[in-house]
Amino acid sequence: MVKLPVAEHSTSLLDELKATGSSFYWAIRLLPIGRRTDLSILYLFCRAVDDIADGPLPPDDKAGALEQWRTLLTNPATLPHEPLAANVRDLLVRHPLLRSLLVEILDGVAMDLPPGLQAPDQATFTLYCRRVAGYVGMALVRLLGCNSPAIDRFALATGDALQFTNILRDVKADADCGRLYLPAPLLDHAGVTTHDPAQILLDPALPHACALLAAEAESRYQEALDLFHDPAISDRERRQLRPARVMLGSYRLLLRRLQQRGWQAEAIGNRTRLSAIRLLIEALRCYTPGS
């Protein structure tokens, strides 16, 4: 692949990132060019493999496409000269320790293949969230130049908080696809009488189950913020971690919007999003010293 000049290459990736409508755009946009490029590639990789699982391909073809990515990740020299694959290969050349995390992310996406998760047990739910969000967080902080036990704990708590929020945002959309990510123990504790995605929206106890997961998400957000300000993380590292702090703040705002909307039958299908202006304001706030 003929590599573009760094600035042009970064701009192209940012355009692709912006086109996805990602709420992470401003968190990445405010970075220096090199890290902006790396985080854009990470996000676009995650988006691409997620689109395989959620897209229109037959199940066997989806599994085959993910398996092809697994082969390419374990042997980057075989990555084709297709733009995203070539970018991922370049990323792994610069950050070879990322490979195992990308494989874990791929394993998490594979758990979405039909029939997908349907009221998983607690261990499966925890593993799924760790793979599709926690390991993304660990990859992100490494690309930001941070690597310590305290920072990994911050990344994992942030990953849980964001993934719980995603699940709560998409309860209806997931049910329409035959998926139910709310874990069985939580559903049972809330008094939900079905684990069938086709029936879950009709259960009067579903809003209580969602409120319980929202409370767990709030707990993870607070844990992540406490870790972010822990003395074990230096001021220099905190400055490097500001993009993750932006993501944390933006998604916490989304969770609170969801809590205000609720999960009653008349509201649960309403799509809840934050405006681009609101996301930019949150990004600038998180870049303010002392935030």
Residues 61-102: tens digit of each pLDDT: 999 999 989 988 888 666 555 788 888 988 998 999 899 999
- 173 and 57 both lie in a single domain: no
Instruction: Grade residue 28 by pLDDT with cuts at 50, 70 and 90.
Output: confident
Do 219 and 253 lie in a common domain? yes
State the average pLDDT for the chain.
86
Which CATH number do you get for residue 271? 1.10.600.10
Cα(184)–Cα(186) distance, rounded to whole angstroms? 5
Residue 290 and residue 253 share a domain: yes
Domain boundary among 95, 111, 127: 111
Total number of domains constituting the chain? 2
pLDDT of residue 72: 87
Secondary structure (DSSP) of 78-102: G--SSHHHHHHHHHHHH-GGGHHHH
Residues 203 and 251 in one domain: yes
What percent of the chain clears pLDDT 90, i.e. is strictly above it? 61
Whether 10 shows a pLDDT value over 80: the answer reads no
Q: Do 124 and 86 reside in the same domain of the chain?
A: no
pLDDT at 289: 62
Residues 153 and 178 occupy one common structural domain = yes
Let me know whether 123 and 103 are in one domain: no
Q: What is the pTM of this model?
A: 0.87
**Residue tagged 């593993």 (tokens):** 127
pLDDT score recorded for residue 6 = 36
* 89 and 212 fall within a common domain: no
Higher pLDDT, 210 or 272: 210
120: containing domain: 115-291
d(CA 143, CA 247): 15
Choose the weakest-confidence range: 125-139, 188-202, 262-276. Answer: 262-276
User: What is the per-residue pLDDT for 2?
Assistant: 29
Residues 280 and 140 in one domain: yes
Stretch 5-11: mean pLDDT, rounded? 42
Of 87, 111, 135, which closes a domain? 111
- Of 65, 94, 111, the position where a domain reaches its end is 111
Helices 135-143, 242-261: axis angle to 10 degrees equals: 150
Tell me the C-alpha distance between 36 and 13, whole Å: 9
| Residue 42 shares a structural domain with residue 122 | no
Looking at the structure, tell me whether residues 72 and 180 fall in a common domain.
no
pLDDT in tens, 139-191: 999 999 998 999 999 999 999 999 999 999 999 999 999 999 999 999 999 99
Confidence (pLDDT) at 279: 60
At which residue do the structure tokens 């490979």 appear?
99
Q: Do 239 and 267 reside in the same domain of the chain? A: yes
